[in-house]
Structure 1
Amino acid sequence: MTSLQANRIALPTGVTLNVQTGGTRDGEPIILLHGFPESHRTWRAVAPDLARDHFVVAPDQRGFAGSDKPEGVDAYRTETILADLIALADTLGVDRFTLVGHDWGGAIAWLAALRHPDRIARLVIANSPHPLIFQKSLIEDADQRAASQYIRAFRDPGMERAIAAMGIETFYEKTFGAHTDLTRIPAEERQAYLDQWSAPGALTAMLNWYRASEIVVPAIGEAAGAPAWTLAPFPHLTMPVLVIWGLRDKALLPVQLESLHELVDDLALAATPDAGHFIPWEHPAFVIAAIRDFIAETA
């Protein structure tokens, strides 16, 4: 295992991010993007292993943990967060890189591969749906729509008051308890979550990712048509893509995997029944092996 160090890096997009970096600058760069409601610590068991022979970069994305938390929903538009990623790579002198994303980090990673295919040598997605498949499933698949109602709750302007009323520890238990065995989270990690979420403005910043998203989530039973953009031709990805999936995921159902081959020309899939949504720390050995095999096969 290789140790990594955290530094605050100011970006021309107007935010300063807390970024964990490590490994060898002579190695291929790998950028790791976490999701909600986490931080670079999502990769706590993955990043040190990859850093043995790669240059690893794992930011706290804007609004999370040690990074800036700008006010307002518009500060969390997906295109704005994508700009942070490209600016971070530029600031670190990284041209082409392997991009790995989990959950919301995966949403940014999918978009990065679509918008900047010249920068993304390989794409690795961990339990994060392709935007077209996800939006269609929210309209057409009743089970996925039901599983995604939490998004509507997170967008509610009263969500912060609801969390305050239940207490941050209860929110922690609800957030993770439905998706994983809480005993799998070490005490120090639990405390890190509670400390980060208790910081001024932290909950609002994290929830603003959902509020800024243009994904349409109809209510259960609501009549809803597909957004116009889902009916137009959608670009294919041509770089090698690995999708890692914990099949116990209760928020993102297997329907998210069914049509990927129609949108990704060079697709590899690594799925396991031994993990759920938080696979990077639920089953890090599986994630490390899948990424390493993928890099070796696409070198």
Structure 2
Amino acid sequence: MTALATVRIPLSTGITINACQGGPRTGRRDPIIFLHGFPESHRTWRYQLADLSQDHFVVAPDQRGFGRSDKPQDAADYEAHEIVADLIALADALDIRHFSLVGHDWGGAAAWLAALTHPGRIRRLVIVNAPHPLIFAKSLIEDEQQRAASQYMRAFRSPLIEQGIKAMGLEAFFEKSFGPHVDLAKIPERERRRYLEDWSQPGALTAMFNWYRASKMEVPAPGEQASLPAWTQTPFPRLAMPTLVIWGLKDKALLPIQLEGLGGLVDDLQIVTSATAGHFIPWEEPATVTCAIRDFLDLDLRHP
């Protein structure tokens, strides 16, 4: 087995990413690629990587704009197709043809899209507190509670957000980012320092918020009259690959309504929930996530 290590990987998309990888490259088990969300890095998956690398080859990149990966400053560089292109380029760079894909938050959004657009590459899909694009788009129009919970997206698209964070300081931004969602005492000091170091890099704040600026998801203001986007009213492709959705039900940003109707969009669906975890369940309740992923992936071995 190859021990976990961080490496720099140039991609055919023109950027170089920082990634944590390790584990055996041979055997029956497919490699696993993990995609983190905002405002994190590959370390979102630190507990899962340590466990699953015992018998899987695992790769967790700092996605473009995050951690120690390249940070383009143009919002257009963060459109969804660019993010998915990075994923496929990463798999190609590591000579990985087929893989299981795990995504949380924005990483989950990328994982949903990758599964829809590259189903031949992804054997199994694991989504952690990240809404299906069709359900999310509809809920932002039709559900006032979800719309209210998503108003932060409008704030994060503001051209003034970076100035506001610099004025308040990164320490205060850390508390505002995580405080409403998790007991800050659950974040070890060494992890807090890593966040602050990553966010302090030149261009880091703009790069992270460009994920929101590039998103085409419509987020009306509370009470604003809005119609469903045209694309939500046309037939939407179903996913055929086995899919596991893990959800911390105390998530204040992505409400349990995001689980409603998933069975109509995914042919082979499992859902695992936690009543005690919130949005950052991968490190709030790591055993819940790791065990669910392991059980899900082991189905391939029990039913070859």
**Smaller-chain TM-score range?**
over 0.9
Change (3 A) 1:182 1:2: farther
Where do residues 76-155 of structure 1 align in structure 2 (5 Å cutoff)? 76-155=78-157
Equivalent-residue separation in structure 2 for 1:161 and 1:220 (angstroms): 25
Identity of aligned residues (%): 65
For residue 24 of structure 2, what is the aligned residue in structure 1? 24
For residue 262 of structure 2, what is the aligned residue in structure 1? 260
State how many pairs are aligned: 299
Deviation of 1:2 after TM superposition, in Å, equals: 7.8
For the residue of structure 2 that corresponds to 1:276, the secondary structure is coil
For residue 206 of structure 1, what is the aligned residue in structure 2? 208
| Counterpart code for 1:84 | D
For residue 163 of structure 1, what is the aligned residue in structure 2? 165
Equivalent-residue separation in structure 2 for 1:57 and 1:9 (angstroms): 11
Deviations 1:116-169 (A, max 9, x none): 000000000000000000000000000000000000000000000111111111
For residue 269 of structure 1, what is the aligned residue in structure 2? 271
| Counterpart code for 2:197 | D
Deviation of 1:71 after TM superposition, in Å, equals: 1.7
Equivalent-residue separation in structure 1 for 2:139 and 2:300 (angstroms): 31
2:156·2:213 contact (CA, 8 Å) conserved in 1?
yes
For residue 246 of structure 2, what is the aligned residue in structure 1? 244
Compute the RMSD of aligned alpha carbons.
1.0
With normalisation by structure 1, the TM-score equals: 0.99
Write out the 4+ residue segments of structure 1 that deviate beyond 6 Å after TM superposition: none
For residue 217 of structure 2, what is the aligned residue in structure 1? 215
2:2·2:24 contact (CA, 8 Å) conserved in 1?
no
For residue 287 of structure 2, what is the aligned residue in structure 1? 285
| Counterpart code for 1:181 | D
With normalisation by structure 2, the TM-score equals: 0.97
For the residue of structure 2 that corresponds to 1:233, the secondary structure is coil
For residue 38 of structure 1, what is the aligned residue in structure 2? 40
| Counterpart code for 2:147 | R
Equivalent-residue separation in structure 1 for 2:20 and 2:256 (angstroms): 32
Equivalent-residue separation in structure 2 for 1:137 and 1:12 (angstroms): 36
Change (3 A) 1:67 1:75: same
Equivalent-residue separation in structure 2 for 1:202 and 1:284 (angstroms): 27
| Counterpart code for 1:13 | T
Equivalent-residue separation in structure 1 for 2:101 and 2:147 (angstroms): 28
Deviations 1:20-43 (A, max 9, x none): 110000142000000000000000
1:275·1:282 contact (CA, 8 Å) conserved in 2?
yes
> Structure 1: where are the runs of 5+ without partners?
none
Equivalent-residue separation in structure 1 for 2:12 and 2:34 (angstroms): 20
For the residue of structure 1 that corresponds to 2:47, the secondary structure is coil
1:22·1:51 contact (CA, 8 Å) conserved in 2?
yes
For residue 230 of structure 1, what is the aligned residue in structure 2? 232
